[in-house]
Amino acid sequence: MLKKECDKNIQKTLELADAMILLAMQGDDAREDSGCGVLYGTLLDSGFKLKQLASKEKEAHIKKGWWRDEETCN
């Protein structure tokens, strides 16, 4: 479990981005028209962008020594 609220929020953002990516892939597999393709393509792109931004922020926190996991002390 992460200690700092800012780190918890970054972790939640990473989890949200993963959920967005998964939903976009599932939605695209089940779509029946081009409008859904646009919707799920946008969701997929947004998920990947959020994941990229949150991952960079996580790395910045790790380099600063801020990212501390209570269980592993990482």
Query: What token pair was written down for 32?
Result: 């029946």
pLDDT at residue number 73 = 44
| C-alpha 69 chain-centroid distance | 18
pLDDT digits (tens, 9 = 90+) for 41-64: 999 999 999 999 999 999 999 999
Average confidence (pLDDT) over 15-21: 98
Measured over all CA atoms, what is the biggest interatomic distance in the chain, rounded to whole angstroms? 49
